[in-house]
Amino acid sequence: MPRPAIKRRLRKHTQEEPMNVTHYIGFDVHKKHVNFCAKTANGEIIEEGKLPAQRAVLRQWATTQQPPWRGAMEATLFSAWIYDTLKPYGQPLEMAHPARLKAITSAKKKNDRIDARTIADLMRCNLLPSCYVATPETRELRRLLRYRNLVVRESVRMQNKIAGLLMETGSPFEKGKLHGKKYFTNLLKNLEEVPESVKDLLCLSRGAMEMFQATQKRLIQRLLANPKLGQRVERLASIPGVGEITALTWALEIGDPRRFSSSARVMSYCGLTAALRSSADKQQRGPISKQRNQWLQTALIEAAKLAPRWNPQLAALHTRELERGHRNRATLAVARKLAAYLLAVDKSGQPFQLRALPTADLTSPALDKAG
């Protein structure tokens, strides 16, 4: 008996009208060129070739194709703008999940022409592992947020460099006050037996740090100025323990929350679950899976370390898990609960409200046994 996932795929395949699609086109995209292969539903090659990776050339080529046609490409660094350029012409145009596209990565013989043919075959057989593609507006805002993360890392590097220069020259300082403007100015004036080159480097590092900090503030203000995103962040930040950065990261990395049918799926996407290998009634759990959204994973883990201070429910969960003797697992449990909270608020479109249990449930034997 077919599994549910296969049933859905077969149902989708039977509901399509093959007569509406004249051919299927697979694209293998690169920095300088795009290989394509057009096939009929029977697998006959109609056309294949190589195009320069230029918007004008791609649009001109797309107008020469007989509509309607379906297209697909593998998700790479160069796929986004090519996808946006060809999307008005393809009906529809899909993006393939690179980690699941084993038909290409495990092939014995591999080149650009074969890759394009393989993608076309997977699509016409309805076996293409397609992935979610965010809207151009979301991708633009997400690019700003990821650049802000880069700026923050560089600011931290400058702070560490300042401390390193002082320690290297044997200059005492107070760690907690070092990066305050007034304290740093006074410290710089009172430095003794320090080479002038080190003082110049300290000033340069301080200037770079201030520039990075000002830049990241402007980026956050620009993101929050977006009306839809600002309202969404405000709802997500209503969860105790969730701040602006965590809410922004969730909103822009998740995109459409309705694509996740359950909290378990979103936890897996965020990299908060362990890898599982099951065979012959034997199950083996591995470490946290590397197939995840690293931006969300980092944001949720960092938030989980501080959220119990402001959220009593998360504090109780953290304490309960901590009693089992593993601090990292306690943090992971809090991160999973945060992901569940964020998904529920994002889907409902309403601010966070803690659901109170009925009195009968609070005194039930099951809860007494669990407590």
pLDDT digits (tens, 9 = 90+) for 282-299: 777 777 777 889 999 999
**Is 21-124 a domain of CATH 3.30.420.40?**
yes
Can you give the pLDDT at residue 103?
62
pLDDT digits (tens, 9 = 90+) for 218-262: 999 999 999 999 999 999 999 999 999 999 999 999 999 999 999
Can you give the pLDDT at residue 356?
63
Can you give the pLDDT at residue 109?
81
pLDDT digits (tens, 9 = 90+) for 38-91: 999 999 999 999 999 999 999 999 999 888 899 999 999 989 999 999 999 988
C-alpha torsion sign, points 105, 107, 110, 113 = negative
> What single-letter DSSP state applies at residue 202?
H
Tell the burial category of 84 from Cβ atoms under 10 Å away from its Cβ (0-12, 13-18, 19+): middle
Residue 82 and residue 55: Cα distance in Å, rounded?
8
**Strand order, beta sheet including 33-39:** 45-52, 33-39, 23-29, 69-74, 93-96
Can you give the pLDDT at residue 108?
76
Is residue 368 predicted with pLDDT exceeding 60?
A: no
Residue 92: is the preceding peptide bond cis (ω within 30°)? yes
Is residue 9 predicted with pLDDT exceeding 60?
A: no
Residue 194 and residue 321: Cα distance in Å, rounded?
50
Residue with tokens 């009693």: 323
Can you give the pLDDT at residue 106?
73
Can you give the pLDDT at residue 102?
76
The answer to whether 308 and 241 are in contact (CB under 8 A) is yes
Torsion of CA 312, 314, 319, 325, to 10 degrees: -170
Using DSSP's 3-state secondary structure scheme, residue 176 falls into: coil
Task: Give start and end residues of each alpha helix (H) in 225-272.
Answer: 227-236, 244-254, 263-269
Lowest mean pLDDT among 7-16, 120-129, 264-273: 7-16
Residue 112 and residue 205: Cα distance in Å, rounded?
46
Tell the burial category of 231 from Cβ atoms under 10 Å away from its Cβ (0-12, 13-18, 19+): exposed
Is residue 363 predicted with pLDDT exceeding 70?
A: no
The answer to whether 144 and 202 are in contact (CB under 8 A) is no
One DSSP character per residue, 81-103 reads HHHHHHTTTSSSEEEE-TTT-HH
Whole-number average pLDDT of the chain: 87
Residue 68: is the preceding peptide bond cis (ω within 30°)? yes
pLDDT digits (tens, 9 = 90+) for 307-345: 999 999 999 999 999 998 888 999 999 999 999 999 999
